[in-house]
Structure 1
Amino acid sequence: MPRTVIVATALALSLPIATTHAETSKATTARKADLADRVAGTYKGAVISDARGSSRDNVTITVTRVSANKVEIKSAYARIPTVTIPLEKAMDAILAARGPHVFLLDTVRSPDRLDLTIDDASWSGTRVSIHAPK
């Protein structure tokens, strides 16, 4: 094999093609954090009002991002069913964008306090852990 072919092949193989491709893939798959990322986490609190039952302490709520600006609310407490809530920002608050549920988090005055009303049960609590974005 002629020397120029060997040198040209060696140069071509040393170019950072794979690195460039990997960096491009990371850039296209990375996404900007949204409202769902901001509120995702585990919250502990109490059902403070319930049209169909009594109040209850030590109720844990898990807020999980399901898509852009949309979260799933889960609780082991049967009076608060699993629901999906679209979010929007209004001034300093993150709230339910639509639907029958109340979701309220004031990002300035109490950024780790969450207030919910789902199925006529009102719950209020504070964040105890943050869920990392996927």
Structure 2
Amino acid sequence: MGRMDTGGRAAMLGAAMALLAAGAAAAQPQRKPDLADAVAGTYAGDVISDSKGSSRSNVSLTVTRTGPNTVSVTSDYQRLPSITVPLTAAMNTIQQARGDSVFLYDRGKKQLDVSFNMEVSWSGARQ
């Protein structure tokens, strides 16, 4: 068998490394979707009550998965603070597992209700 030049060796080594990387990626198990995946997304709705002000229409919320069964909730309305919510399932809902903010997603209606720090409440649906 003849000798390979340096360029040929580099090409073979590159191809071998690409195959190993692809095999390693395929060997890693896919993460099973959880409650956070089920509620992640953008929602459109309204502030329906506020202990320090009036209601407000057309307020968007963004729910982002931050970990297993955990989401962060942010808004385009400054009155709504960013919160992190651990989730649990109860009957046909996904709701907060603990904390002083209420997070209630109704799977049947596809509606989300959030009360931020028990001061301001928002209600809406996924966009």
| TM-score interval for Structure 1 and Structure 2 normalised by the shorter chain | 0.7 to 0.9
Name the residue aligned to 2:66. Answer: 66
Task: After superposition, give the CA deviation of every residue in 1:63-97 in whole Å (9 maximum; x if it has no partner).
Answer: 00001100000012111101110001111110000
Identical pairs, percent: 50
Question: Which residues of structure 1 form unaligned runs of 5+?
Answer: 2-15, 129-134
What is the aligned counterpart of 1:114 among 103, 112, 115? 112
**Does the C-alpha gap of structure 1 residues 30 and 78 become closer, same or farther in structure 2, counting only changes over 3 Å?**
same
Name the residue aligned to 2:47. Answer: 47
Name the residue aligned to 1:32. Answer: 32
4+ long deviations beyond 6 Å: none
What secondary structure sits across from 1:37 in the alignment? Answer: helix
Deviation at 1:29, TM superposition (A): 4.9
Residues in 1 aligned to 2:109 and 2:23: alpha-carbon distance in whole angstroms = 38
Name the residue aligned to 1:123. Answer: 122
What secondary structure sits across from 1:38 in the alignment? Answer: helix
**Does the C-alpha gap of structure 1 residues 28 and 78 become closer, same or farther in structure 2, counting only changes over 3 Å?**
same
Residues in 2 aligned to 1:27 and 1:121: alpha-carbon distance in whole angstroms = 46
Name the residue aligned to 1:78. Answer: 78
Name the residue aligned to 2:8. Answer: none
Deviates more, 1:88-97 or 1:28-37: 28-37
- Give the 5 Å matches for 1:5-16: none
Residue type at the aligned position of 2:116: I
Asked if 1:94 corresponds to 2:94, the answer is yes
Residues in 2 aligned to 1:54 and 1:23: alpha-carbon distance in whole angstroms = 57
Deviation at 1:56, TM superposition (A): 0.2
**Does the C-alpha gap of structure 1 residues 27 and 117 become closer, same or farther in structure 2, counting only changes over 3 Å?**
farther
Question: Which residues of structure 2 form unaligned runs of 5+?
Answer: 2-15
Residues in 2 aligned to 1:67 and 1:47: alpha-carbon distance in whole angstroms = 27
Residues in 2 aligned to 1:106 and 1:118: alpha-carbon distance in whole angstroms = 18
Query: What RMSD, in angstroms, separates the aligned Cα atoms of the two structures?
Result: 2.1
Residue type at the aligned position of 1:98: R
TM-score (norm 2): 0.80
